Amino acid sequence: MTTPALRLVFAGTPEFAALALRALLRSEYCDVVAVYTQPDRPRGRGKKTVPSAVKSVALDNDIAVCQPANFKDDAEIETLKQWRADVMVVAAYGLLLPQRVLDTPRLGCINIHASLLPRWRGAAPVERAIEAGDTETGVTIMQMDAGLDTGAMLLKKRCEITGTDTGDSVRTKLVTLGSEAIVESIASFARGEVRAEQQDNRLANYAKKISKPETAIDWTANATDIDRKIRAFFSDYTCFTLLEGERIKLGPETRPIIDESVTNAPGTIIAVDKDSVTVQCGTNSVQLTQLQFPGGRMMSVRDCLNSRASQLQVGTQFEQLSEQ
């Protein structure tokens, strides 16, 4: 006997969500009847109004698109009800869903969350996992409820965080995992095989949104923490320091160096070679191999030394910055 496909409403906005939508459209267990996404907004240097990545996929596949500013209007709830959805899949949608939205689909709303719940709940789970030194992360498909990422867990997929991973590289891993996991979860719903597991709230941490002041490097911190922070925040929130009044962005190819015998002032360049500069931290030092000066692109230190050698000398000190 053939398992009938579920009527599915998909809610998402960026490319991460678009890839999940494409995967669902290939699944025999899905009948995507409508897509919800953020209103079109100006993007790029020309500020041209363009559709979201999810909307583009929907239009390419002749799927109805809804773009409400919010769900405060009763008319929006009535529209949602008219789709007669079995389930609503939410992936980086960008809107908080009130309880009456969560209650509308027959089987509720499920979310692709970019961490192994309950480890990191909140807005920046990828960055906080790297920053904290976690050695693994993954995606969790969860049943949405009124709390912040507190719903029952339906499926997890894991991946390693290496000592060279960045925010960007981990997100790339999670895109593939998320697409695989949501297809598997919908198949389980269709076959009636879903097994929900409640979260242990004692193991939860809040992954707060990254603030701009956080991206300023505090050289009095230890080298391991600075290394993790630079890699974690790249590229959405690239870290920076100041040199002679210029804001210098720091690339993610960094390495902490353990040598407690060096005791220069934090922020001082203590070594320069053709490929790197090494900077004293509060404890130990960190080796930088990529820098971005104002008005330029991210470049290797080797290239920076061709034009900035006088600024990148042993003894030069980056200005001390801390979160404000």
Q: What is the arithmetic mean of pLDDT over 11-34?
A: 96
Least confident of 89-93, 144-148, 319-323: 319-323
For residue range 25-40, list pLDDT tens digits in order. 999 999 999 999 999 9
- Mean pLDDT computed over 73-96: 96
pLDDT at 98 over 80: yes
pLDDT number for residue 42: 83
pLDDT of residue 324: 46
Measured CA distances, 236 to 100, 171, 209, 227 (Å): 33, 11, 12, 16
pTM above 0.75, yes or no: yes
- CATH code of domain 212-308: 3.10.25.10
* Domain(s) of CATH 3.10.25.10: residues in the chain: 212-308
Class in CATH terms, 6-207: alpha beta
Mean pLDDT across 283-312: 96
pLDDT at 311: 95
**Residues of each domain in the chain carrying CATH 3.40.50.170:** 6-207
Q: Which residues are within 8 A (CB) of 91 and not within 5 positions of it... i.e. 6 or more apart?
A: 10, 11, 12, 16, 17, 20, 21, 111, 112, 178, 182
* Lowest-pLDDT choice from 40-54, 200-214, 279-293, 304-318: 40-54
Task: Give the separation between CA 219 and CA 280, rounded to whole angstroms.
Answer: 7
pLDDT single digits (tens) 142-157: 999 999 999 999 999 9
Q: What is the mean pLDDT of residues 180-188?
A: 97
Mean pLDDT of 271-288: 96
For position 261, what pLDDT does the model report?
Answer: 80
Share of the chain above pLDDT 90, in %: 91
Beta-carbon contacts of 115 under 8 Å, excluding residues fewer than 6 positions away, are 121, 125, 126, 129, 137, 138, 139, 140, 207
pLDDT of residue 47: 81
What is the reported pLDDT for 322? 55
What's the whole-number mean pLDDT along residues 77-82?
97
> What integer pLDDT is reported at residue 100 of this predicted model?
96
User: What's the average model confidence in pLDDT over 243-254?
Assistant: 96
Residue 44, pLDDT above cutoff 90:
no
Q: Looking at the predicted structure, is the pLDDT value of residue 263 above 90?
A: no
